[in-house]
A and B are shown apart, each in its own frame.
Chain A
Amino acid sequence: MALDSKVPQGPLKDKWTDYKNHINLVNPANKRHIDVIVVGTGLAGGSASATLAELGYNVKAFAYQDSPRRAHSIAAQGGINAAKNYQGDGDSTYRLFYDTVKGGDYRSREANVYRLAEVSANIIDQCVAQGVPFARDYGGLLDNRSFGGVLVSRTFYAKGQTGQQLLLGAYSAMNRQIARGKIEMFNRHEMLDVVIVDGKARGIIARNLVTGEIERHSAHAVVIASGGYGNVYFLSTNAMGSNVTAGWKVHKKGAYFANPCYTQIHPTCIPRSGDYQSKLTLMSESLRNDGRIWVPKHLKDVEAIKAGTLKPTQLKEEDRDYYLERRYPAFGNLVPRDVASRAAKERCDAGYGVNATGEAVYLDFAASFVRYGKEQAKIQGITNPSEAKIKELGQEIVRAKYGNLFQMYEKIVDENPYETPMMIYPAVHYTMGGVWVDYNLMTTIPGCYAIGEANFSDHGANRLGASALMQGLADGYFVLPYTIGDYLADDIRTGKIPTDTPEFEAAEKEVKERIDFFINNKGTHSVDYYHKKLGKIMWEECGMSRNAAGLKQAIEDISALRKDFWQNVIVPGTDTEYNEQLAKAGRVADFLELGELFAKDALVREESAGGHFREEHQTEDGEAKRMKEFQFVSAWEYKGEPKDAVLHKEALEYENIEVKERSYK
């Protein structure tokens, strides 16, 4: 099958408007006879479910959590970008588009990104109308902060809990439709397969996680909004239940999987502490607005700090290496995430890591306490304030901005970040790769859509901070509701899709056989045993830097591990009850396939781009080196074993932006 991105003709700035003017619409009376399944209730799935129901479609929404409000979008901290230009600092739709394409290292689709930037402002209007309590200044207008990789302040926020507030906004919109019966909500349900009828996605097989019952659900279209696959690394900032299963199942039924190797390793996370660790915790990128990142300049000081004979606060200014400010004077501590993460790894690999494992750098707020403190003293008319008073006043401001993050850090690490610098290290956070979609957000299976983090289209090889929330809500509120209508216009006479057909029968049988296998296998190793082993391979060979030998080894190791898993995994309990191990076994089985495709994709991509850093391809000063011949999307077609996957290429063309060396110096 040839890949057709279906990007409309015409000038970039008119594409979306012209597209909307010419698509087919479904009249309100007909929408009542059309069903749509949405898998996942995060920002993308929640906003899509609510909007489709408002339009009149019958929505069936699925979440593995006990309530749609708990989807992992809830954990997003820092903010959401929008080209409002409220600060008058030169922002515009074009600039947001430009920053996003450049930030993604010129590996995203121009038309999709421009549309994203175009609808970004509507998102803020919509959320405010819903009652989302964004931060405001004293004049009562919305406040903004700045994020990495940009030179304007376009990030809207609600303390360090922006994802929570936006998700609760989408959840409230869903609740209104659930109350009206337009959304039927299936909590504690997991999609285990997609059902294809006459070449079109017409339903899913889902498991009720409380009773174990296998259910058939039909619809005229299926939307995958199940998030990213960062948990393939075992340790990540994702929720424990985050998984690739929905995306992987549609991949196995014909949807191409794009750029699996593009993973975001976020620079500011709390370092790991021991083997029992179950997940990693992110410290919002917004902290880099006010925190400065450094390690000691001299190895002797590193040793003294590790030995506990020297405190970081005692180290003189000239003995500190603010390595981001040194290497990237233009963007300083606010370089994009891929750049900041690699720079931390470079310093730690050279022996400058400041904790016992050697995998930590400092994020220091001392300078901002002084800066804010002096400003406050002036505002409050305090003459000749003491150093202590300045610090106190400054800390108040920092507390107001990031209080919940500081508290979170203190609870986990047991150190007071107001008194000593935070220690941070990069961790897996987000996956730019995902199910391939065209301009309509439709996968290569007709009638099957993928939105939010589950698809691949907008962030290229690296996502900028505060853009995930923007994309999730753009897809769900403002893009999919149009594009899906164009497709469903052909279904007004189809009628209800029956579930007592051979297609549903076959899909259900396959699902049940796999569950039976897990329950009856009675092996020797737990599901987590395999998940941890997979995570170790992924982190070591497919982490912040990759090379051909390591990737080949990873492919071999993952394949062997998968074989072992299918022989020796043990799942306790039965299939007719609440059984978390059983649910997890299915998810890890899919990660074991995805992991291998991931390594294969990274091996084929003989260049460095964004989060994908191949050691063989770097500039003299260690920056990522892109290759013109790799200016394409890798879309993989499933053919059985991951090693047999077939590569399809979607060429990326940049007509409105000059492809340049990506520099933040």
Chain B
Amino acid sequence: MNLTLKIWRQKDANSKGQMTDYQISDVSDHMSFLEMMDVLNEQIINKGEEPVAFDHDCREGICGMCSMYINGEAHGPDRGVTTCQLHMRMFKDGDTITIEPWKAAAFPVIKDLVVDRSAFDRIQHAGGYISVNTSGNTQDANSIPIAKQAADTAMDAATCIGCGACVATCKNSSAMLFVGAKVSQYALLPQGQVEAADRVRNMVAQMDLEGFGNCTNTGACEVECPKGISLDNIARMNRELMKASI
């Protein structure tokens, strides 16, 4: 298929960006979206110009590095996938595809489609852990049985890949799905109870400090999340925060 691509180009954080048009031909259905971008970049390099910068690494939907806003949707039109897992069979010959970076005040653009998501790391520094040193003397892993349902629900929350699609898609640029997922993972497990109150308070405080917005229950984040992280996690975070403040 032949496509027109409208891509956000921005030299660096301090420059103004603009949309630039590119034509690409002979795109195969079986290509992934990023492979299509590779082909485009190869074309651009061979013309002696600068290729489009974008984040990507594992290309199998787990590292959370890739982050494109495609036709107005985080990770594009497919559901339950990251940009690297999106395939060109989702598009048809003659389509015009708009490609932008994540747009949020807390995620400043580094270059083209690459954004700075270090705010997510700083939220994790504020409390995204259980305080246990490496020793080799912790108790046996089977000494505390954990109900399968609790373990499974904790796992579902822990599946978050930290890509930031939730923030990019939210009209308030809220990071509550991301923070809620981490708070929930620990809140559901016995190991997480000791520090539960401090954790949720500190993580939420850091989230606010980073300039993320609040949740107004639109639910777009859950729809666009490539890992299907449930809105329940936001509710659980709010409950935890409430518990921590009384």
Interface size bracket, A side? 35 or more
- Chain A residues with Cβ under 8 A from B185's Cβ? 131, 133
What residues on B are CB-neighbors of A122 within 8 Å?
136
Is the pair B61, A175 in contact by a Cβ cutoff of 8 Å? Answer: no
Known: A478-B136, A577-B111. A125 touches B141 (CB 8 A): yes
Interface string of A19-52 (1 = CB under 8 A from B): 0000000000000000000000000000100110
With A67-B120, A137-B148, A142-B142 known to touch, is A75 a contact of B53 (CB < 8 Å)?
A: no
A573 to B9, CA, bound (A): 14
With A74-B63, A408-B61 as contacts: A129 and B145 at CB distance below 8 Å: no
Q: Of B39, B49, B135, B138, which one neighbours A276 at CB under 8 angstroms? A: B39
B162 within 8 A of A: yes
| The one of A131, A528, A573 that contacts B189, using a Cβ cutoff of 8 Å | A131
Q: Is the CB of A179 within 8 A of B126?
A: yes
Contact, CB under 8 Å: A134 / B139: no
Binds B, one of A158-166, A318-326, A440-448: A158-166
CB of A66 closer than 8 Å to a CB of B = yes
B159 contact set on A, CB distance < 8 A: 159, 161, 164
Measured CB to CB, the closest approach of chain B to A228, in angstroms, equals 14
Tell me the residues in window 126-145 of chain A with beta carbons closer than 8 Å to chain B beta carbons: 126-131, 133-142
State in angstroms the CA–CA spacing of A519 and B130 once bound together: 46
In the complex, which residues of chain B have a beta carbon less than 8 angstroms from the beta carbon of A566? none
A550 on the B face (CB < 8 A): no
Q: A572 and B59 in contact (CB under 8 A), knowing A128-B191, A176-B129?
A: no
**How far in angstroms is the closest Cβ of chain A from B62?**
5
Residues of chain B from 181 to 228 with CB closer than 8 A to chain A in the complex: 185-186, 189, 191-192
CB distance from A61 to the nearest CB of B (A): 12
Q: Is A481 an interface residue (CB 8 A)?
A: yes
Instruction: Kindly name the residue among B34, B117, B146, B186 whose own CB sees the greatest number of chain A CB atoms within 10 A.
Output: B146
Residues on A with C-beta less than 8 A from B110 are 210, 578
Say yes or no: is A295 at the interface (Cβ < 8 Å to chain B). Answer: no
Instruction: Indicate if B245 sits at the interface (CB-CB under 8 A).
Output: no
A86 touches B45 (CB 8 A): no
How does the 8 Å CB contact mask read for A413-435 relative to B, with 1 for contact and 0 for none?
Answer: 01000000000000000000000
Residues on B with beta carbons closer than 8 Å to the beta carbon of A65: 57, 63, 65
A662 interfacial by beta-carbon distance below 8 Å: no
Chain B nearest CB: distance from A82 CB in Å? 9
B42 proximity list for chain A (CB < 8 A): 526, 528
Chain B residues positioned under 8 Å from A281 (CB to CB): 59-60
- Measured CB to CB, the closest approach of chain B to A507, in angstroms, equals 27
- With an 8 A cutoff between CB atoms, is B243 at the interface? no
A411 at the interface (CB under 8 A from B): yes
The reply on A171 being an interface residue by CB < 8 A is yes
Of the stretches B80-88, B93-101, B165-173, B231-239, the one at the interface is: B80-88
The residue in B48, B78, B111, B129 that gathers the most chain A C-beta atoms within 10 A of its C-beta is B129
Which residues of B19-62 have CB atoms within 8 Å of chain A's CB atoms?
28, 30-32, 34-36, 38-39, 42, 44-46, 48-51, 53, 55-62
Q: A54-B134, A526-B46 are in contact. Are A136 and B31 (CB under 8 A)?
A: no
Candidates B32, B36, B142, B192; contact of A86 at CB < 8 Å: B142
Given that A72-B57, A74-B58 are known contacts, is A67 also in contact with B151, CB under 8 Å in the complex?
no
Within A461-480, the residues touching B (CB, 8 Å) are: 477-478
Q: What are the residues of chain A within 8 A of B116 when measuring CB–CB?
A: 66
Query: Pick the contact of B50 from A176, A477, A573 — CB < 8 Å?
Result: A573
Contact of B51 among A69, A141, A581 (CB under 8 A): A581
Give the secondary structure class of B's interface. loop
Interface residues of B in 127-156 (CB under 8 A from A): 128-136, 138-142, 145-148, 151-152, 154-155
Cα(A412)–Cα(B82), bound, Å: 12
A239 touches B58 (CB 8 A): yes
Contact B136 A572 (CB under 8 A): no
Asked whether B191 lies within 8 Å of A131 as measured between CB atoms, the reply is: yes
Residues in chain B near residue A139, CB distance under 8 A: 145
Q: Separation in Å of the B234 CB from the closest CB of chain A?
A: 19
B118 adjacent to chain A (CB < 8 Å): yes
A residues within 8 A CB of B124?
A: 171-172, 175
Contact B158 A165 (CB under 8 A): yes
Q: What is the CB-to-nearest-CB distance from B98 to chain A, in angstroms, rounded to a whole number?
A: 22
Q: Which residues of B contact A90 (CB under 8 A)?
A: none
Contacts A124-B141, A175-B128, A179-B126; is A131 near B186 (CB within 8 Å)? yes
Smallest CB gap from B188: residue in A: A133
Distance, CA A303 to CA B125, complexed state (A): 58
Interface centre among A131, A185, A581 (most CB of B within 10 A): A131
A116 to chain B, nearest CB (A): 14
Task: Check B138 against A125 for contact (C-beta < 8 Å).
Answer: yes
B61 near A142 with CB under 8 A, answer no
A297 within 8 A of B: no
A209 to B237, CA, bound (A): 35
Is B180 positioned at the interface, with any CB of A under 8 Å from its CB? no
How many chain B residues sit at the interface, stated as a range, is 35 or more
- A70 at interface (Cβ–Cβ under 8 A)? yes
Nearest A residue to B85 via CB reads A411
**Minimum CB–CB distance for A72 against chain B, Å:** 6
Docked-complex contact B57 and A572, CB < 8 angstroms:
no
Residues A51 and B34 in contact, CB atoms below 8 Å apart: no
A540 at the interface (CB under 8 A from B): no
Instruction: Kindly report which residue of chain B lies nearest to residue A66, judged by CB atoms.
Output: B117
Q: Contacts of A51 on B, CB cut-off 8 Å?
A: 133-134
Please, which residues of chain B bring their CB within 8 A of the CB of A127? 141
Of the listed residues A142, A187, A237, A411, the one surrounded by the most CB atoms of chain B closer than 10 A to its CB is: A411
B111 to chain A, nearest CB (A): 4
Q: In the bound complex, do residue B128 and residue A172 qualify as a contact, i.e. CB atoms below 8 Å apart?
A: yes
Which one of A75, A168, A412 contacts B58 once the chains associate, using CB atoms below 8 Å? A75
Q: Is the CB of B139 within 8 A of A176?
A: no
Residues of B within 8 A of A159 (CB): 155, 159
On chain A, the residues within 8 Å of B135 by CB distance are 126
Name which residue of chain A comes closest to B116, CB basis: A66
Residues of chain B contacted by A136 (CB below 8 angstroms):
145-148, 151-152
User: Contacting B129 at CB < 8 Å: which of A172, A185, A237, A408?
Assistant: A172
Instruction: Decide yes or no whether A278 CB sits under 8 A from chain B.
Output: yes
Q: How far is the CB of B136 from chain A (nearest CB, A)?
A: 4
Please tell me which one of the listed residues A47, A172, A173, A276 contacts residue B38 in the complex, with CB atoms under 8 A apart: A276
Check: A495 CB closer than 8 A to any chain B CB.
Answer: no
A273 beta carbon closer than 8 Å to chain B: yes
Beta-carbon nearest neighbor of A47 in chain B: B134
Say yes or no: A130-B191 contact (C-beta < 8 A), given A72-B58, A481-B134: yes
B151 to A: closest C-beta gap in Å: 4
**Residues of B contacting A140 in the complex (Cβ-Cβ under 8 angstroms):** 145-148, 151
Taking beta carbons and an 8 Å cutoff, which residues of B are in contact with A?
11-12, 28, 30-32, 34-36, 38-39, 42, 44-46, 48-51, 53, 55-65, 78, 80-81, 85, 87, 89, 110-111, 114, 116-118, 120-121, 124-126, 128-136, 138-142, 145-148, 151-152, 154-155, 158-159, 161-162, 185-186, 189, 191-192
Q: List 14 A-B contacts (CB under 8 A).
A: A54-B134, A67-B117, A68-B121, A75-B63, A130-B129, A134-B151, A136-B145, A175-B129, A276-B38, A281-B59, A412-B87, A526-B42, A528-B38, A578-B53
Q: Give 8 closest A-B pairs by Cβ, nearest first.
A: A140-B145, A172-B129, A133-B155, A128-B141, A129-B138, A51-B134, A179-B125, A133-B154
Q: Besides the contacts A276-B28, A572-B50, what 14 more A-B pairs have beta carbons closer than 8 Å?
A: A70-B64, A72-B57, A122-B136, A126-B132, A131-B191, A138-B148, A161-B62, A173-B132, A239-B57, A276-B35, A276-B36, A414-B87, A478-B134, A481-B134
Instruction: State the A residues within 8 Å of B (CB).
Output: 47, 50-51, 54, 65-70, 72, 74-75, 84, 86, 119, 122, 124-131, 133-142, 158-159, 161, 164-165, 168, 171-173, 175-176, 178-179, 185, 187, 210, 237, 239-241, 273-274, 276-279, 281-282, 407-408, 411-412, 414, 477-478, 481, 526, 528, 570, 572-573, 577-578, 580-581
